[in-house]
Amino acid sequence: MSRQNHYDAGVWHIIIECDMVMNTGEKMKKYAYGIDIGGTAIKLGLFETSGSLLSSWEIPTRKEGNGSCILHDIMKSLNLSMKENNLSSSDVEGIGMGIPGPVGKDGTVYKCVNLGWDVFNIEEEMHQLSGMRVKAANDANVAALGEMWQGGGRGYEDIVMVTLGTGVGSGIIINGQIVNGINGAAGEIGHILVDSDEKEVCGCGKKGCLEQYTSARGIVRIARRYLHDYPTVKSSLRDIDNFTSKDIFEQYDKGDIVSQVIVDTACETLGRAMATISCVLNPEVFVIGGGMSKAGQVLIEKIAYYYKKYAFHATEDTAFHLATLGNNAGIYGAVKLLL
């Protein structure tokens, strides 16, 4: 709200202008910051609350002292950005944050092992530091919200975003709202049990989890196991030292039979798990993101094929889209938390 005074015909006139009024009667400010805290870098973005990303940048995640520098480093970076852009806190709607760990509805972080954080209320602490409104949620949920707002899930209100990276995660949005669960663990689909005979241990301590077969690390593990179990089968993967999931997809494209079996098996395992998820949530769309989604349309079509094979009839037609915001999904979704 801006206020202008002028003197006319012996009377002071006060003109009050409102540019954007929310339903609550409160004015939506023009700018907002979205922050995505990762284990090695923190991504920050300055947005217009209408949805445009004006600038984004990264700072390193300093984990010393149990991550006690992190919020101060963020504040330093935000203060610098506000100075550079001539903004004061009265121009900024607030700060949205994606956190790599479980976050309760009131902003309580329930430990972030990879940042060294214990239990504390991050919304209150950031508000103390910034004087601005702060909203925080789990990073996978926040990325899903970002894709729903401005990415591959745009136009939908019931979406499950599946992230295929080092692990397998997901963010669930139903009726436009994040599904968090009582401990913030809703959407931990990477730890759905898919093989109770598995002997190797998952990162979570249990055995036979989805991400042991379908994450970037998981498909490399399965490929190595296959090559070991079938030593006479020829494969171009045998010529690549320490091959990665990217190598497997490249050899898949070049026609390597073993790579085709590995990719096909991973897509079948994912499609089957997603058919199970649909029996519970019945989303309109699955949005597939994460590093492995760079394999693109081939991956989506294969997963969708197996999904349809296993899905309950009423959920067969769920759409499959690629995520479009890449590493920016988190900062978009963080801002959407505020709106």
Contact pick of 185, 204, 240, 298 for Zn ion (by CB under 5 A): 204
281 binds Zn ion (CB under 5 A): no
In 10 A of CB 116, how many CB atoms? 14
The stretch near Zn ion (CB under 5 A) out of 150-158, 159-167, 198-206, 327-335 is: 198-206
Sketch the per residue contact string, 136 through 175, with Zn ion: x for CB under 5 A, - otherwise: ----------------------------------------
Query: Which CB atom, from 42 or from 202, has the smaller least distance to Zn ion?
Result: 202
Q: If you search the block for the tokens 């997603």, which residue do you land on?
A: 274
Pairing of strands 11-17, 31-37: unpaired
| Identified binder of Zn ion from the candidate list 144, 172, 202, 270, rule CB under 5 A | 202
Indicate which single residue of 209, 281, 292, 338 sits in contact with Zn ion (rule: CB under 5 A).
209
Does 257 participate in binding Zn ion (rule CB under 5 A)?
no
CB of 209 to Zn ion, least distance (A): 3
201 binds Zn ion (CB under 5 A): no
Question: For 92-197, where are the alpha helices, taking DSSP H only?
Answer: 122-130, 139-150
φ and ψ of 86, to 5 deg? 60, 40
Orientation of helix 257-281 relative to helix 245-253, angle to 10°: 110
Rounded Cα distance, 253 and 322, in Å:
19
Give the count of residues interacting with Zn ion (CB under 5 A).
5
The secondary structure of residue 162, as a DSSP letter, is E
Closest contact distance (angstroms) between CB of 214 and Zn ion is: 12
Quote the least distance from Cβ 229 to Zn ion, whole Å: 23
272 is a contact residue toward Zn ion (CB under 5 A) = no
How far separated are the first and last CA of the chain, in Å rounded?
Answer: 18
Amino acid in the structure at residue 237? L
Q: Coil, strand, or helix at residue 46?
A: strand
Q: Does 273 bind Zn ion (CB under 5 A)?
A: no
- Which positions touch Zn ion (CB under 5 A)? 191, 202, 204, 206, 209
